[in-house]
Amino acid sequence: MKNNTFKFVLFKRILIFTVLVLALFFAINTTVDVVGSKLLADVYQFKESLTMDEAIRSFPETQKVISSINGKCQIINDNTVVFPKNVKKSYSEEELISLMNGMSKIGDKTYKAVLTPIRDKKNYFQMIIVPTDKIQTNYAIQMDIYDSRNNTYLNFLLIAIIIFFGGYFLISRLVVRKTNKMIVKPISDLKEDMANVSQGSYDIEKASYEIIEFNEMRKSFEEMTETLQSLSEKAKNDEFLKSQIISELGHDIKNSITPIVGYTNILKNKDYLLKEDLDMMEKILSNCKDMQEMLGMLVEYGKLSRIDYHLNKTKIDVMEIFKSVIGEKYSNFENKNIDQIIKLEDKPINLLLDYIEIKRAIGNIIGNAATHNPEFSVVEFSYRETEFYVDLIVADTGNEIEESNLKIIFEPFIREKPTIEKQGHSGLGLSISKKIIEKHGGELLLEQPFENYTKAFIIRLPK
């Protein structure tokens, strides 16, 4: 494929369009000129059966019509004018040929002649001479004396005009279509491939175009895509490795804590231990339990971050899960004198969900509402349903989340200070919930404020 600059291609298309339109114009103009000339000649020529006497008798009327357009009518024998008799003139062969071809100059005008033979006089002709500009623009002048011919010319002229504009439109469409193919297609291809790349699909085909600038742009895009693909693969490998390390490390540490818990429980049962020793062992067991829970969350976060992890989805009632988790967390709220308002209907809403994971996500959100809100707060559990999604809403009257944390609240290891003394908060709960919900094709949203409440966490799941 021969490559050209955009400027050259545009110029070439404009030039082709102009040449084609001019060619169409001149072709139609020439055709109209020829047809008009023939019709005009037919108007003013004698009938084939016209004799010399009839030609002379009709001469005054013919001359009157022709002179109205600065022309003249003559009867010639060979090259000499024989009528009207007061005209003394002979034409050379060159002059007659020039008149017949419409190239005879008299003064500042060009004239054309039409010869019609006289039937009963050998070598006699009627010659009508008219200015060529009158032939080109006045074919219909005085044609009303022959209405049928006049209508023929006008109809032909109308058809010629229609053909011209039709041809103009067709040429325009052809040129524009070709130009569009050269300009729009590269842009459309690039737009489509950019959309694919933005979705993480780097499998794009190599392409080449006629315009140099588009080739350069395409080449740059393909090189950029290859770089992005390489970085993406590296990032996936790094993420996979990181997730695997987190999961395995968390699992190993969790397993190491299990013997400590076991040995501590054995020691607790010894009769010789003092109360202070028992209290210390209770603290050891409590801390081990917190560590096991945090390590469990760390392992869960690593598992969810792996690209090869898949949910086990089945059709289940999400409202039943929501109510179940609220019941399980009831004592957490009661212990802090947090009032609970439950606005849920006995209406099943079946969605395609992973039961264990979605319950974990809902539990983290509700657990946080108990952990991070002060005493005597109010927490409301509600929902809203649309044609496309279901929202599970946990709203509260507790403290606002600091503005500096709003944008990073769902990132791992980001935590608000718990309002209870026990510092067992890993900062992974919201991040795990967000990953679980997103793997279900949903969203975890924070609205602050929300209606009559300080804030609300909203679990949005698609139908």
Number of domains comprising the chain: 3
The residue type of 291 is M
Q: Is the domain of 238 the same as that of 357?
A: no
Residue at a domain's end among 305, 339, 369 = 305
Range of the domain at 238: 213-305
* Residue 177 forms part of a structural domain: no
Q: Which residues of the chain have pLDDT under 50?
A: 43-47, 136-150, 417-424
Residue at a domain's end among 255, 283, 305 = 305
What is residue 245's predicted lDDT score, i.e. its pLDDT?
A: 61
What is residue 49's predicted lDDT score, i.e. its pLDDT?
A: 52
* Residue 169 forms part of a structural domain: no
* pLDDT single digits (tens) 100-146: 888 888 888 888 888 888 888 888 888 888 888 776 444 444 344 34
Q: Is the domain of 12 the same as that of 155?
A: yes
Q: Is the domain of 156 the same as that of 28?
A: yes
* Residue 190 forms part of a structural domain: no
* Residue 199 forms part of a structural domain: no
Indicate which CATH number applies to the domain containing 382.
Answer: 3.30.565.10
Q: Is the domain of 101 the same as that of 134?
A: yes
Q: Are 429 and 443 in contact (CB under 8 A)?
A: no
Q: Is the domain of 249 the same as that of 327?
A: no
The rounded distance, in Å, linking the Cα atoms of 73 and 66 is 7
Residue at a domain's end among 164, 197, 232 = 164
* pLDDT single digits (tens) 406-437: 888 887 665 554 433 444 455 678 888 998 99
Q: Is the domain of 11 the same as that of 150?
A: yes
Q: Is the domain of 255 the same as that of 347?
A: no
Q: In this structure, what token pair is assigned to residue 409?
A: 């609240």
